[in-house]
Chain A
Amino acid sequence: MDYKERLSKLRRLLGSSGAVIVDLSQLRELSLRGIPDDNLRPLTWKLLLGYIPLEKDQWNATLTSKRDAYYDYLRDLLQDPDGDPQDHPLNSSASSKWGIFFEDNNTLEQIDKDIKRTLPDIAFFQQLVRRDPLSPLSPVLTATYNVLEEESRSSMDDVFGRLSMDQLSIGQPEMKNNHTSAVSDSQAPSSGERHSTSPLSSRISSPPLDVRPINTRRSLFRRIQHLNRNFGSDYRQNSSSKSIISKTDVDDPQIDDYHWEVVERILFLYAKLNPGIGYCQGMNEIIGPLYYVLAQSGEVGAEPDTFWCFSSVMSEIREVFIRTSDFDEDQGIGAIVGRFMEHMKTVDPELSDHLDSNQVHPTYFALRWFTCMICQEFSLPSVIRIWDSVFADYDIFRQTMTNVDSMKVQSGGFHFLHDYCCAMLLCIRDDLLQLNFAEIVKMLQCYPLSDIGPILAKSYILRDYRLSGSKALLDIIRSSFKPYQSNEEHGFRTSLNTIRSKAAFLKNINIKASNGTWSANSSEAAMSPKSDNLRESATNLFSRFRQKSGTPNSSSEDICTSLSSSRGFFSRSWTRTDSPIASPTVVLSEAPPTSHLANIKGSGAGLMRKMGQILSPSLIPQRADLDDVKDIRSSFEIGEDDAEEEKFQRLTES
């Protein structure tokens, strides 16, 4: 489906001419590859996140009641603790309102510091929130004040005016006339008025009766006024507004809010209402794009809408912010990162090994990716685009089945985020494979790609894989892995990949040079879904071996050492003296003579048969003599269980 088609379908789906109930699955499908119209994004996100219902005729009522609820919270929670004669600021008892007040101020200070550190590079957040008589969070309008303000803020209005005009003319041709649509209802008066040159008096003369201004809306900023001595005035001077507001005016009910202040207020309220989580660093990153998307159009309810959408997002990922869950097996950031790497191991065992062997613990990078929903890794427009997919893939009713084991239990429903993070690694895997610890961590912490196109392309394949479990999709992913060095190397690597992908068998086997034979330890864990049967065979093989050899507790290492003479043959194909793989999966320093073939036939035939399944045929001819190949091939043919048993018998004795 091309862009135009998606656009017109989405417009039809959400517009008044479409069905009265939005088809969620269609909405998700249309949004998965990016919401084609910026102006439809706020509405689409609200639907995808479950903030508003699918029934169009309920949008208005829902928005009204949710927004009112938010305003009520603010009225309740922004009260200063005065009035109670028994209580006073020096009261140290836990139930003291003043005590809570001071504790809140710590939270507030933390939020304030983080917001100011996070958002200054996006000019939007330094701008003033547009006044709107419909919002209880707008300054109280008085005629004289407005005239002055209007003049001083004319430059700002130009910006906003243009913005809304563009949006109205391009974005919402259908929405404009849709009176059941909450979006158009709430937007029409504000946007229309903004860019028109309607006389100021029209706003003042007809204030909506049911809007009760929240006079304490700026009380938060008074509390932390001491922190803003320098910051506030800097920004007020730098911003497009010419009005420089002195610090004493910080809680003047007629002062406009900056967008960053609004974000602070939302985070503070969220922390107050969710004392189990409170405020954690990282939330500041997540709320940024949400607010930006919802507030950019200047819609009156942007603040409450952001609060509710943020709450929806948090309900999916809240565990990553809970410290006591850090080391929990099922939830929390540790578990999420663990499962992510488990999944990586399935998709790209070679890279996974490389990271492992270089001691690059996934928390060094993935912790931040997941905690901030990759906000810190990409530019704001990219993040918004990625989130389109994340939210579109998000199944609010949790009906989507995941068919990949490593993805089955996930904290939160943002599976696409996992796909995307996985793709981030895959897109730079060829580089990563050549780097050492310090270089890898640096690259992963300062992610080098800014073009998200290729990453998204891979993410979709990974998503399909997750949903279908089809191994063919993994092969597609792997087919793009860059061959290492020369053509010969290419052959080697392809074979190696084939081996790896099939070699669950070699789980726990890490082959290294040792007297020209093989030993093993437990870092090779090439697990591929393809190899279920092989894995089973291998398990049986090992357990039978243990029984036969009378050493039930012998490790795979012992077994492999015993098998070494028979398997040494393969070394010639795999010998690498200067391996780029830090923990060489297969490195042998010495190639055993061809005479070992005799041993293979004699003792390790059963095992060899398995190896035959593992080995890509192309590997063998590559470096072995034709006769050798013949021999190997014939030894692979030995298939009957009895024969295999017998070989094992001999094997254990040898």
Chain B
Amino acid sequence: MRADTHDIPTLKVLLVGNSNVGKTAIFERFVDDFYDPETTTATIGVDFRSKIVEVRDTKVKLNIWDTAGQERFRSLTSSYFRNALGALIVFDLSVYETFEQLPLWFRELRTYSSDQQVATVVVGAKLDKVGSRVVNRSEGMAMADKNGAGYIEVSAKTGVGVVEAFEMLIGRIMDTPALWKDGDVLARTDSVVAVDQVEEGTRYCGC
């Protein structure tokens, strides 16, 4: 495992959004291609997994942090934002309030991630709940545009759009040169990161 991943650049990305919008479902669908409505419990703190994906002929290792949505964990989860290069900001297409809170999540990201330019994609979740939809597509796209984010609608239940959402995010990270300047992200491998951390101490975590 270690040998395989040795030279693959590592990207830290986040899943954020209100509680119960389906972050963990998207996360599990993407990482394990698995969906089970019965066993998803509220995320406490943060869940982490990594996955290697290929985008534009480049292999990257995604370190994905699935954060708790509830207000109570805000101060804790924001500490995971550091050095994130991108974030999926998830809302529930069937609950308007979760859409209204998107600006708050943009603000949180800009405040707590170390890079102002952190790439973002707004993800409308639960696309499968056709009848209950209360946020329409143009509204969602307008919100994303206004905040310089990508926009995609997904269903973790059916799997529609999940992989694409992550690919869109990686693409946006690749397209944001400012994210590279500082740390030369794509050149940063696991081992390099480890040395970075030990020697510099200040450059916190690339993973």
Contact = CB atoms under 8 A, between A and B. Distances in A.
Say what secondary structure dominates the interface of chain A. helix
Contact of A367 (B20, B42, B45): B45
Contacts of A321: 72
A110 B68 CA distance: 13
A363 interface: yes
A31 to B, nearest CB: 27
A313 interface: no
Interface string A312-336: 0000000001010011000001000
Given A376-B44, A437-B207, A442-B48, A323 B75 contact: yes
A113 B44 contact: no
Interface centre among B43, B71, B72, B207 (most CB of A within 10 A): B72
Interface string A355-387: 001110001100110011000100000000000
Given A326-B76, A523-B198, A359 B207 contact: yes
A118 interface: yes
Contacts of A327: 75
Interface string A244-282: 000000000000000000000000000000000000111
B45 A284 contact: no
Interface stretch (B33-41, B150-158, B160-168, B179-187): B33-41
Nearest to B41: A118
Contact of B48 (A281, A357, A445): A445
Nearest to B97: A106
A363 B76 contact: yes
Given A110-B70, A438-B207, A117 B20 contact: yes
Given A436-B190, A439-B1, A583-B198, A117 B45 contact: no
Contact of A371 (B41, B44, B204): B44
Which bracket fits the contact residues of B?
35 or more
B19 interface: yes
B194 A442 contact: no
A113 B19 contact: yes
Interface in A280-302: 280-282, 284-285
B73 A121 contact: no
A556 B50 CA distance: 38
A441 B207 CA distance: 11
Contacts of A189: none
Nearest to B71: A323
Contact of B76 (A367, A436, A437, A439): A367
Interface string A569-588: 00000000000001100000
30 contacts: A117-B40, A120-B38, A121-B39, A281-B19, A281-B43, A281-B44, A281-B72, A281-B73, A323-B75, A326-B75, A327-B75, A359-B197, A359-B205, A363-B45, A363-B46, A364-B46, A367-B46, A367-B76, A368-B45, A372-B44, A376-B44, A436-B190, A441-B48, A442-B48, A442-B49, A445-B47, A445-B48, A523-B198, A583-B194, A583-B198
Given A327-B75, A442-B48, A583-B194, 5 more contacts: A113-B20, A363-B76, A371-B45, A439-B1, A582-B194
Which 7 pairs between the two chains have the least Cβ-Cβ distance?
Answer: A367-B45, A281-B42, A438-B50, A368-B44, A280-B72, A441-B48, A113-B20
